[in-house]
Amino acid sequence: MTAEEKTALAKALDLADDYLRDGYACDRGEYAFTEDPPQNSVTGAVFSAASLINASPSRRGPADSLEALKADICGCTACPLHKTREKVVIGDGPGGPLVLILGDAPGREDEEAGKPFAGPAGELLDRMLGAIALSRGTNCYLTHLIKCRPPEDGNPSAFQTAAACAPFLKRELALLKPLVILGFERATGAGIPEAFNFLKTAGIPFFSTHHPALIRSDEGLKRPAWEKLKTLSSTLTGLDRDYAGALRTAGRT
């Protein structure tokens, strides 16, 4: 198949996919297909079509990209939250970050802004990161376990939606390859839902502490959160020479 034929077929498949989901076409960005080598046999033609289906931007596989991931999240209807969300809250930050920062689920301010960690809790987070020479614009990628805001009455609960949403975070991890993960728990003592246990076995140092929204309402949580950040910073120093230098320059060592 030519690249043009593949693009036309992929667009038609994605359009049908969007129609079946919710009737709205989702922006999937540019399609980037290459020409197939000449094929003389019927078998070869069948394999070409199969490889096109796997490479479609709405599919997961070796050709995955952040753009494809964002388009898939944007069109997701895999759990009941798609009916109540006003906006999907996708991850935000540079590729290849030092730290992947994880909240549990977007709050109202995140949904309004369309970005994770918006509002006063996000401002506190920025100050916490700044204290150890990190920032969301340069070396941290921010995202949530669950990409759509759960209703405030807790129904459906985050745990009901967790399993459906977990594959998106797996793809984020595979694409971003952060050096460490920092997870924020909104409710003291709340653990990571079982569907996300892969976070702890991914071979990436994992830290967790209290969510900035909780720290804002309880001064007593500041000290343990700061101790956790210091441990994270010291781990990063051993993993990335540039970070160690930035920390020295900022006078944080």
Residues of the shown chain interacting with ligand SF4 in the complex, contacts defined by CB under 6 A: 73, 76-79, 81-82, 146-148, 161, 164-165
Residue closer to ligand SF4, measured from CB, 61 or 151: 151
Pairing of strands 140-144, 180-185: unpaired
Distance, CA of 144 to CA of 89 (rounded, Å)? 8
Residue closer to ligand SF4, measured from CB, 75 or 183: 75
CB of 53: closest distance to ligand SF4 in angstroms?
22
CB atoms within 10 A of CB 124: 18
Distance, CA of 130 to CA of 68 (rounded, Å)? 31
Residue closer to ligand SF4, measured from CB, 39 or 84: 84
CB of 164: closest distance to ligand SF4 in angstroms?
4
CB of 156: closest distance to ligand SF4 in angstroms?
9
Q: Which of 158, 126, 19, 32 is nearest to 77 (CA)?
A: 19
Residue closer to ligand SF4, measured from CB, 73 or 100: 73
CB of 23: closest distance to ligand SF4 in angstroms?
16
CB of 76: closest distance to ligand SF4 in angstroms?
3
Residue closer to ligand SF4, measured from CB, 90 or 134: 90
Q: Hey, which bits of 50-188 come out as E strands?
A: 99-103, 140-144, 180-185
